[in-house]
């Protein structure tokens, strides 16, 4: 239901096959003052790929499928059309994995998922530094690259050191295509451990869930860890919501090279659970395949479809402190799904709750969404990549930040052709 | 604007006592170890016109506005310590240098797990503050406890030890910042964007938190910053394993990286001085260790976590490293040089003075950074270490005075050189190699020049991106498209180019 | 020292900044994290590294002597912390050696007035009062008289009758046979000579002291003023033992004949010349304990102690600056909750007194010990 976030559709679509064509398209758009919307694949949680203005041209990058897979150094350079599914086979063969995203399907673009910093299941362990260097075209058509990719030497393996000077690459993250089009990024690959163990910890409320997440995080043992409310968990497991699920459940996924590693991690988790005054469970009652389903979802996410069914689903994507999560959880209806992912060693949480609606309710629900976000903003919650519906509001909340961003935007996009209307720019 | 007027105006802003124009202050803030030794040709001594010590962000704003409206170059140094040129003015005798001694506030927010520091705060202060709090920071930064660890000094000049291979570079820990832009306006980002913002550095929108990193005040003056903290692990441990050849050590290290176990893992060539010094409590301890390891290559690492985790990972690594011919050092030896555990626990280490003073400890200024870089592959690292050592020794052999240096430790190093590499960064197999020459006298300057030239050729051959440290001109010349974008940003915030000209941005 | 030698030792400092701070394992409070009196008050080039850069600049000819340099040079209290701390595990920059070298090199015209007159500190006032000691049984060591132990007539005692009486009283109580060069006092050497760069004068005075100690067969010298004690210990070539007089107090109190003193909680200021220079940290603490006092230690104590701000000639040359330095110390003393600050150095006492907060007292340890043995101040000379 991406149309929840925008009423506009692109008027035309162009499909460049290589970086040279991308540059041509940008140059032409500058000449004709045509708005461009980069689209890597058809899915995004907040409608970034949909224009916020009339008359836009979608730049569909899905034909750009170039891959440079460097097994030895555990990196891969991808073009925008490469999906998680595309990399799965090569990764499996090499004993590696890509870091997959929550609620972003396996057929989503790796580049745009990482570029927009969609939450990854592995953030708690590896932190959000999944991208190394990048290359692309600024909105004014100029080529740019970061780190080794910018080196004048011509060699295939020049990609992985970020040459962190000025951290240029981070500026293009969460920019929703407003500053240019990225045609290539180097991303990291991680070890795929042969053994996995899924553990559960029941929580009475969201408060207990954030507390438990922090405590489990402190061991630095789980590879994936998140907390979900019962609606979200039921959808994830594909079961009907029943009384059997706790209001909130912390899901811990331990990975290991052998049984011994899994075993000590399990023991440690049990003792943390005990210290928290609860019990770590090894399965979910009445759902015999629960662990397999969770592992499969992490490896190969279903995407938004898992929640929407026949109805509309709009996530509210935010970053919050434990206190803010507690304060804001009451803003959502009890039937909303919600997921929490600890970040920064537990000092912050990725907090995503959602709204459910019928297509006819969109105008009304939009109002509700905006009002709700406004309350969350007031509570200090951060919308890291605000949707077009609340972009102006967010920009107002951080005037100094956005003033600087606006001047940067103006410098690289004097004709305002790149995804205008996004980000409150 | 006349010099006298600038000084008068500055005095009005911060008070007469905090504006310094005397010759010693200008010398003190216009030179450092590297401007004296070896690299004097690359990094000439440049004195500021005046050094000013602001007390608040308001003071900084007023000074920036004064400088902007009169086109006076501005430079910055954290707590008054200079080790890597970033704060030495690019233009001589015309600029204002900030010294942040009067801004040393440090506070910890245990709930958001961040430490908020002003630019003059030192690592030591942070360590003191958190000692009983069960939290600490990582990955560990290089440098000494007295240095202004967090803000312009190290993080912004890019000096951070990549030894935290599991944690990536130090800047990964930045959570938010407050910066005075060249316009005099203040921008707050990430965890500091709002009064209660969560500890998240990215957004809203493109992450501006990283803008000042490695820029040496080129984009603005950071007046406060937040860094993320971690819970202190229940247990820490370490492991040192020796190898006959560098190749075996590198292969073994690669296996450790792939296992994703351990933290702070490093490979060291013969002499193993980095490890010895990071981990020793006194330079003499380190010195003995260096002498004792002249014919071995070393892989060293730390472990942290629960008791079971430390035990499991340690055993797993021993098994893995043995496959490549590694021989673990006995526990008692590791116990003597226990700094690695302290690092793994998340405490401040204090290696720089030890490293530089180790070889002599009496009258020799010691280590000079000759060549270093970050590599993306193990193969490149190995080539660099091996060939680098050869180049180093070949040049040393030509200089008889150096080979026959009166001090035995200098003679030792003349014969073997030193290398280390820290596995690290977000790039899985990236690392850092630093070759260090050890002598203080200017008579060896030509020798350093020769070694540097050999290294530069080798690095080009290997295909290595510049570090982007201090006034490393290669940042501008070897990655032109990266730099072009940095220049666009510079044009946005500082069209006049009065912020740190000649440091992170060349003087046009 | 040649300029090349000075340069080489000055270059030992790579400006790591370690010396600015305290040992993190020992001092938990960030408020007391820094140490160098001038560095923590005036910052920048007033930190130890500023002095090292001064040496480097002077040695290489990059800097010329000027009033500005003198200002920095004489703002240092020569407390010795930077030297001491650097030695503990870093490279060891011999900061004190460098500082003293600079103070001996600086042209006389740039020296502060008090420093130019430093050599005068050797002159013995005509009305010197060492004779007071005789009434307490201290014998005059004259002619060819031999003595095992003497008390040193330092420059803070020569005309200080009340203090001489207290010391005489305690020596009497000790039952120890102690002499003093009363009618022909020894040259009253002190740190003033080092601070003022009077090397020749110091050398001559020490030669005379050594010769005269030998002549009288003296084995032990008790010294009241720590600034004299450290100089005697450092520069004497004799085998005579120079000890702080308070080590005698500590020994005496072990017998338990003294009465307890009633005071609120006390704190103790380690004088730099007694502590870092003479390494006497234990005796004063033993005395405080034996006097029955509750000691509330400051965090920066022992070899991490913060200077009162008087040393290096700062008190004589720039009392206002010394007072500012003392303010730093009082801030910490107050934080302990102590009601009395005890010192064992007349300079610490004087300087801390000038910045003293109203609700806290300051007392000399000698006065307290005298009191404990029943000294009332009325004991007349016989």
Model confidence over C58-71: pLDDT tens digits?
998 999 999 999 99
- Of residues A421 and A99, the one with the higher pLDDT is A99
Confidence of residue A71 (pLDDT cuts 50, 70, 90): confident
Residues A191 and B429: beta-carbon distance below 8 Å: no
C89 touches chain B (CB under 8 A): yes
pLDDT at B369: 55
pLDDT at C255: 86
Is the pLDDT at B299 greater than 70, yes or no? yes
pLDDT at B183: 97
Task: Count the neighbouring beta carbons within 10 Å of the beta carbon of residue C143.
Answer: 9
Residues 6+ apart with CB under 8 A from B353: B144, C14, C16, C18, C90, C91
| Whether B504 and A219 lie within 8 Å, measured CB to CB | no
Taking alpha carbons only, the member of B84, B141, B18 closest to residue B468 is: B84
pLDDT at B159: 36
| Whether B365 and C11 lie within 8 Å, measured CB to CB | yes
Give how far C269 is from chain B: nearest CA, Å. 22
SS (H, E, C) C216-232: CCCCEEEECCHHHHHHH
C262 touches chain B (CB under 8 A): no
Closest B-chain CA to C35: B146
B162 touches chain A (CB under 8 A): no
pLDDT at A49: 80
pLDDT at B405: 62
Residues in chain C: 382
pLDDT at C254: 93
Confidence of residue B436 (pLDDT cuts 50, 70, 90): low
Q: Which residues of C touch B100 (CB under 8 A)?
A: none
C87 touches chain B (CB under 8 A): no
Nearest to B25 among C20, C21, C44 (CB): C44
Q: What is the DSSP letter of C19?
A: G
pLDDT at B37: 57
The pLDDT tens digits of the residues spanning A146-195 come to: 887 888 777 776 776 665 555 678 889 999 999 999 999 999 899 999 99
Is the pLDDT at B52 greater than 50, yes or no? yes
Neighbours of chain B (3+ CB pairs under 8 A): A, C
C43 touches chain B (CB under 8 A): yes
Q: Which residues of B touch A188 (CB under 8 A)?
A: 426-428
| Whether C49 and B80 lie within 8 Å, measured CB to CB | yes
Mean pLDDT value across residues C216-227: 98
C321 touches chain B (CB under 8 A): no
> Alpha-carbon distance B439 to A395, whole Å?
55
* Domain covering A2-191, topology: 3.30.465
pLDDT at A56: 94
Burial of residue A363 (CB within 10 Å: 0-12, 13-18, 19+) is exposed
| Residue among C15, C31, C59 with most chain B CBs within 10 A, to mutate | C15
pLDDT at B465: 61
> Alpha-carbon distance B166 to C282, whole Å?
47
| Whether A147 and B479 lie within 8 Å, measured CB to CB | yes
Nearest to A147 among B167, B202, B482 (CB): B482
pLDDT at B240: 84
Could you say which residues from 175 to 204 on chain B have a Cβ atom under 8 Å away from some Cβ of chain A? 175, 181, 185-189, 191, 193-200, 202-204
| Whether B309 and A220 lie within 8 Å, measured CB to CB | yes
Cα→Cα distances C198→A169, B498, C189, C230, Å: 62, 48, 11, 16
Confidence of residue B282 (pLDDT cuts 50, 70, 90): low
Is the pLDDT at A83 greater than 60, yes or no? yes
Could you say which residues from 93 to 112 on chain B have a Cβ atom under 8 Å away from some Cβ of chain A? 111-112
Residues 6+ apart with CB under 8 A from C226: C244, C271, C272, C273, C274, C277, C278, C344, C345
pLDDT at B421: 55
Is the pLDDT at B303 greater than 90, yes or no? no
> Alpha-carbon distance B209 to B222, whole Å?
10
Q: Which residues of B touch A191 (CB under 8 A)?
A: 258-260
Token duo for residue B361: 């400890």
Q: Which residues of A touch B425 (CB under 8 A)?
A: 161-162
The pLDDT tens digits of the residues spanning B74-118 come to: 998 876 555 555 678 888 999 999 998 899 888 999 889 998 988
> Alpha-carbon distance B398 to B372, whole Å?
23
Exposure class string for B63-73: b at 16+ Cβ within 10 A, else e: bbbbbbeeebb
> Alpha-carbon distance B423 to B409, whole Å?
27
Q: Quick check: do A and B touch, 3+ CB pairs under 8 A?
A: yes
| Whether B205 and A385 lie within 8 Å, measured CB to CB | yes
| Whether B80 and C19 lie within 8 Å, measured CB to CB | no
> Alpha-carbon distance B53 to B21, whole Å?
12
| Ranges A280-284, B445-449, C195-199, C214-218: which has the least confidence | B445-449
Q: What is the CATH number of domain A195-299?
A: 3.30.70.2190
Q: Is the peptide bond before B70 cis (omega within 30 degrees of 0)?
A: no
The pLDDT tens digits of the residues spanning A218-267 come to: 999 999 999 999 999 999 999 987 678 999 999 999 999 999 999 999 99
Give how far A4 is from chain B: nearest CA, Å. 20
| Ranges A38-42, A311-315, B272-276: which has the least confidence | B272-276
> Alpha-carbon distance B494 to B506, whole Å?
14
Burial of residue A243 (CB within 10 Å: 0-12, 13-18, 19+) is exposed
| Whether A160 and B202 lie within 8 Å, measured CB to CB | no
Token duo for residue A322: 């434990």
Give me the helices (H) in A176-304, please: 206-217, 230-237, 259-275, 290-299
Percent of chain B with pLDDT over 70: 64
Q: Which domains does chain B show, CATH number per domain?
A: 106-231 (3.30.465.10), 235-462 (3.40.462.10)
Which DSSP string corresponds to A237-270? HT----TTS-SEEEEEEEEESSHHHHHHHHHHHH
pLDDT at B138: 64
Task: Count the neighbouring beta carbons within 10 Å of the beta carbon of residue C191.
Answer: 26
Could you say which residues from 471 to 490 on chain B have a Cβ atom under 8 Å away from some Cβ of chain A? 475, 478-486, 488-489
Residues 6+ apart with CB under 8 A from C272: C77, C78, C79, C80, C81, C226, C305, C307, C311
Residues B191 and B117: beta-carbon distance below 8 Å: no
Q: Which residues of B touch C42 (CB under 8 A)?
A: 17
Confidence of residue B506 (pLDDT cuts 50, 70, 90): confident
Q: Hey, is B218 helix, strand or coil?
A: coil
Q: Which residues of B touch A410 (CB under 8 A)?
A: 492
What is the enclosing helix (H) or strand (E) of C215? Answer: helix C199-215
What is the enclosing helix (H) or strand (E) of A187? Answer: strand A180-188
Could you say which residues from 2 to 31 on chain C have a Cβ atom under 8 Å away from some Cβ of chain B? 8-9, 11-12, 14-22, 24-25, 27-30
Burial of residue C25 (CB within 10 Å: 0-12, 13-18, 19+) is exposed
Nearest to B132 among C8, C16, C28 (CB): C28
> Alpha-carbon distance C65 to C110, whole Å?
8
| Whether C18 and B20 lie within 8 Å, measured CB to CB | no
Residues C110 and C197: beta-carbon distance below 8 Å: no
The pLDDT tens digits of the residues spanning C69-89 come to: 999 999 999 999 999 888 775
Confidence of residue B43 (pLDDT cuts 50, 70, 90): low
Residues B23 and C66: beta-carbon distance below 8 Å: yes
Q: Which residues of A touch B169 (CB under 8 A)?
A: 164
Task: Count the neighbouring beta carbons within 10 Å of the beta carbon of residue B84.
Answer: 24
Residues B148 and B76: beta-carbon distance below 8 Å: no
| Whether B203 and A384 lie within 8 Å, measured CB to CB | yes
pLDDT at C275: 97
Q: Which residues of B touch A148 (CB under 8 A)?
A: 376, 463, 465, 479
Neighbours of chain A (3+ CB pairs under 8 A): B
Residues B275 and B292: beta-carbon distance below 8 Å: no
> Alpha-carbon distance A384 to B206, whole Å?
9
B165 touches chain A (CB under 8 A): no
The pLDDT tens digits of the residues spanning C316-326 come to: 999 999 999 99
Q: Which domains does chain C show, CATH number per domain?
A: 3-111 (no CATH), 121-248 (3.40.50), 251-372 (3.40.50.1860)
Is the pLDDT at A134 greater than 80, yes or no? yes
pLDDT at B216: 77
Q: Which residues of C touch B83 (CB under 8 A)?
A: 14-16
pLDDT at A120: 95
Nearest to B206 among A173, A380, A383 (CB): A173
Q: How close are the terminal C-alpha atoms of chain A, in Å? A: 24
Domain with CATH 3.30.70.2190 in chain A: 195-299
> Alpha-carbon distance B77 to B99, whole Å?
5
The pLDDT tens digits of the residues spanning B438-489 come to: 444 556 667 767 777 787 777 777 776 655 555 566 667 778 888 888 889 9
Query: Parallel, antiparallel, or unpaired for β B186-190 and B174-180?
Result: antiparallel
Q: Kindly give the interhelix angle for A259-275 and A206-217, rounded to the nearest 10 degrees.
A: 130
Residues B130 and B439: beta-carbon distance below 8 Å: no
Confidence of residue C90 (pLDDT cuts 50, 70, 90): low
| Ranges B298-302, C153-157, C191-195: which has the least confidence | B298-302
pLDDT at B1: 86
> Alpha-carbon distance B402 to B397, whole Å?
8
Is the pLDDT at B340 greater than 70, yes or no? no
Mean pLDDT value across residues A28-41: 92
Nearest to A345 among B231, B312, B465 (CB): B231
How many CB pairs below 8 Å do chains A and B form together?
A: 310
| Whether A150 and B466 lie within 8 Å, measured CB to CB | no
Is the pLDDT at A392 greater than 60, yes or no? yes
The pLDDT tens digits of the residues spanning C312-352 come to: 999 999 999 999 999 999 999 999 999 999 999 999 999 99
- The whole-chain average pLDDT of chain B stands at 75
- Of residues B505 and A313, the one with the higher pLDDT is A313
Give how far B92 is from chain C: nearest CA, Å. 15
| Ranges B164-168, B171-175, B472-476, C280-284: which has the least confidence | B164-168
Closest B-chain CA to C21: B146
Cα→Cα distances C16→B214, B298, B364, C54, C288, Å: 20, 27, 15, 16, 38
| Residue among B336, B357, B406 with most chain C CBs within 10 A, to mutate | B357
- The whole-chain average pLDDT of chain A stands at 91
User: What residue has token string 């976590």?
Assistant: B305
Q: Quick check: do C and A touch, 3+ CB pairs under 8 A?
A: no
Is the pLDDT at A138 greater than 90, yes or no? yes
Q: Hey, is A127 helix, strand or coil?
A: coil
């Amino acid at each position: 239901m991406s149309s929840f976030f925008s009423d506009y559709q692109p008027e035309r679509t162009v499909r460049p096959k290589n970086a040279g064509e991308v540059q041509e398209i940008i140059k032409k758009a500058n000449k004709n003052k045509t708005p461009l919307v980069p689209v890597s694949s058809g899915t995004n949680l907040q409608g970034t790929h949909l224009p916020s203005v009339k008359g836009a041209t979608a730049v569909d990058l899905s034909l750009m499928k170039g891959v440079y897979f460097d097994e030895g150094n555990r990196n891969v350079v991808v073009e925008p059309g490469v999906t998680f599914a595309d990399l799965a086979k090569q990764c499996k063969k090499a004993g590696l994995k890509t870091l997959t995203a929550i609620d972003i399907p396996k057929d989503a673009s790796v580049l745009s998922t990482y570029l927009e910093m969609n939450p990854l299941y592995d953030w708690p362990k590896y932190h959000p530094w999944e991208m190394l260097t990048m290359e692309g075209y600024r909105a004014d058509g100029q080529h740019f690259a970061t780190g080794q990719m910018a080196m004048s030497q011509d060699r295939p393996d020049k990609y992985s050191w970020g040459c962190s000077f000025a951290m240029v690459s981070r500026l293009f993250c969460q920019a929703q295509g407003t500053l240019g089009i990225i045609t290539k990024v180097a991303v990291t690959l991680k070890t795929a451990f042969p053994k996995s163990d899924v553990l559960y910890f029941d929580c009475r409320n969201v408060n207990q869930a954030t507390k438990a997440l922090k405590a489990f995080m402190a061991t630095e043992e789980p590879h994936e860890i998140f907390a979900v409310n019962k609606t979200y968990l039921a959808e994830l497991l594909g079961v009907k919501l029943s009384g059997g699920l706790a209001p909130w459940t912390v899901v811990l996924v331990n990975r290991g090279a052998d049984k011994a590693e899994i075993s000590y991690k399990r023991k440690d988790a049990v003792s943390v659970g005990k210290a928290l005054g609860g019990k770590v469970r090894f399965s979910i009652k009445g759902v015999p395949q629960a662990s397999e389903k969770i592992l499969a979802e992490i490896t190969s996410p279903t995407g938004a479809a898992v929640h929407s069914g026949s109805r509309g689903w709009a996530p509210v994507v935010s970053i919050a402190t434990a206190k803010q999560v507690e304060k804001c959880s009451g803003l959502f209806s009890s039937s909303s799904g919600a997921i929490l992912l600890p970040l920064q060693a537990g000092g912050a949480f990725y907090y995503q709750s959602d709204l459910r609606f019928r297509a006819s309710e969109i105008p009304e629900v939009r109002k509700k969404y905006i009002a709700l976000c406004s309350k969350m903003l007031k509570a200090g919650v951060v919308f890291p990549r605000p949707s077009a519906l609340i972009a102006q509001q967010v920009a107002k909340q951080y005037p100094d930040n956005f003033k600087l961003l606006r001047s940067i935007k103006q410098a690289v996009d004097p004709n305002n052709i790149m995804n205008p209307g996004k980000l409150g720019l | 604007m006349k010099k006298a007027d600038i000084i008068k105006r500055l005095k009005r802003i911060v008070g007469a006592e905090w504006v310094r124009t005397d010759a010693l202050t200008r010398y003190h803030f216009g030179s450092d170890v590297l401007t004296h030794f070896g690299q004097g040709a690359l990094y000439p001594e440049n004195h500021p016109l005046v050094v000013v010590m602001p007390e608040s962000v308001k003071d900084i704003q007023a000074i920036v506005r004064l400088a902007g409206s009169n086109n006076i170059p501005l430079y910055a140094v954290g707590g008054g310590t200079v080790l890597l040129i970033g704060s030495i003015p690019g233009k001589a005798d015309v600029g204002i240098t900030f010294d942040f001694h009067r801004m040393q506030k440090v506070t910890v927010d245990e709930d958001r797990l961040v430490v908020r520091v002003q630019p003059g705060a030192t690592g030591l202060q942070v360590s003191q503050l958190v000692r009983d709090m069960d939290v600490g920071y990582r990955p560990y930064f290089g440098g000494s406890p007295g240095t202004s660890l967090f803000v312009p000094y190290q993080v912004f000049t890019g000096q951070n030890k990549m030894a935290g291979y599991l944690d990536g570079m130090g800047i990964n820990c930045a959570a938010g910042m407050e910066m005075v832009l060249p316009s005099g306006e203040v921008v707050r980002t990430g965890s500091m964007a709002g009064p209660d913002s969560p500890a998240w550095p990215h957004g809203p929108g493109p992450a501006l938190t990283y803008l000042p990193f490695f820029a040496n005040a080129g984009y603005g003056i950071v007046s406060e910053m937040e860094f993320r903290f971690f819970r202190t692990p229940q247990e820490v441990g370490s492991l040192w394993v020796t190898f006959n050849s560098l190749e075996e050590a590198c292969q073994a290290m690669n296996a450790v990286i792939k296992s994703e176990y351990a933290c702070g893992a490093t490979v060291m060539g013969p002499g193993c001085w980095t490890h010895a010094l990071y981990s020793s409590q006194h330079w003499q301890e380190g010195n003995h260790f260096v002498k004792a390891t002249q014919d071995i290559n070393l892989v060293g690492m730390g472990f942290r976590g629960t008791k079971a985790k430390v035990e499991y990972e340690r055993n797993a690594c021993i098994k893995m490293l043995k496959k490549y011919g590694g021989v673990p050092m006995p526990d008692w030896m590791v116990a003597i040089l226990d700094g690695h555990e302290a690092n793994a626990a998340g405490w401040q280490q204090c290696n720089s003075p030890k490293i530089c003073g180790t070889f002599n400890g009496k009258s020799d200024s010691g280590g000079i950074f000759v060549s270093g870089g970050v590599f993306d592959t193990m193969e490149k690292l190995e080539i660099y270490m091996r060939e680098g050592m050869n180049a180093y020794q070949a040049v040393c052999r030509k200089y008889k005075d150096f080979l026959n240096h009166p001090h035995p430790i200098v003679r030792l190093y003349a014969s073997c050189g030193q290398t280390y590499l820290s596995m690290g960064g977000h790039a899985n197999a990236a690392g850092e190699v630093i070759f260090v020459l050890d002598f203080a006298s200017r008579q060896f300057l030509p020798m350093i020049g020769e070694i540097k030239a050999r290294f530069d050729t080798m690095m080009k051959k290997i295909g290595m991106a510049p570090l982007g440290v201090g006034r490393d001109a290669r940042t501008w010349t070897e990655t032109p498209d990266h730099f072009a974008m940095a220049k666009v940003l510079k044009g946005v915030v500082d069209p006049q180019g009065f912020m740190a000209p000649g440091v992170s941005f060349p003087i046009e | 020292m040649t300029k090349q030698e000075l340069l080489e030792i000055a270059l030992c400092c790579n400006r790591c900044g370690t010396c600015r701070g305290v040992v993190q394992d020992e001092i938990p409070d960030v408020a007391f994290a820094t140490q160098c009196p001038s560095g923590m008050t005036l910052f920048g080039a007033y930190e130890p590294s500023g002095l090292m850069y001064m040496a480097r600049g002077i040695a290489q000819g990059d800097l010329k002597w000027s009033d500005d340099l003198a200002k920095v040079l004489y703002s240092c209290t020569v407390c010795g912390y930077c030297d001491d701390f650097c030695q503990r595990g870093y490279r060891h920059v011999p900061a004190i050696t460098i500082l003293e070298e600079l103070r001996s090199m600086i042209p006389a015209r740039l020296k502060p007035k008090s420093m130019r007159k430093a050599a005068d500190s050797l002159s013995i006032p005509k009305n010197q009062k060492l004779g007071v000691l005789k009434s307490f049984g201290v014998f005059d060591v004259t002619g060819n008289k031999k003595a095992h132990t003497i008390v040193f007539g330092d420059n803070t005692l020569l005309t200080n009758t009340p203090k001489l009486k207290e010391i005489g009283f305690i020596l009497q109580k000790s039952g120890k046979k102690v002499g003093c060069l009363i009618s022909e006092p020894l040259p009253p050497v002190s740190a003033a000579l080092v601070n003022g760069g009077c090397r020749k004068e110091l050398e001559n005075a020490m030669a005379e002291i050594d010769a005269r100690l030998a002549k009288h067969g003296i084995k032990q010298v008790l010294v009241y003023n720590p600034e004299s004690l450290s100089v005697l210990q450092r520069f004497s070539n004799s085998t005579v033992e120079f000890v702080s007089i308070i080590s005698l107090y500590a020994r005496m109190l072990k017998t338990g004949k003294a009465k307890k003193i009633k005071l609120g909680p006390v704190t103790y200021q380690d004088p730099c010349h007694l502590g870092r220079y003479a390494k006497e940290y234990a005796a004063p603490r033993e005395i405080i304990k034996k006097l029955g006092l509750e000691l509330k230690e400051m965090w920066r104590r022992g070899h991490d102690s913060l200077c009162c701000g008087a040393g290096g000639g700062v008190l004589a040359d720039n009392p206002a600056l010394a007072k500012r330095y003392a303010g730093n110390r009082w801030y910490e003393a107050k934080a302990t909750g102590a009601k009395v600050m005890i010192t064992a150095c007349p300079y610490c006492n004087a300087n801390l007194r000038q910045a003293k907060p109203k609700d806290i007292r300051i007392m000399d340890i000698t006065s307290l010990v005298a009191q404990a043995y029943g000294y009332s101040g009325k004991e007349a000379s016989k």
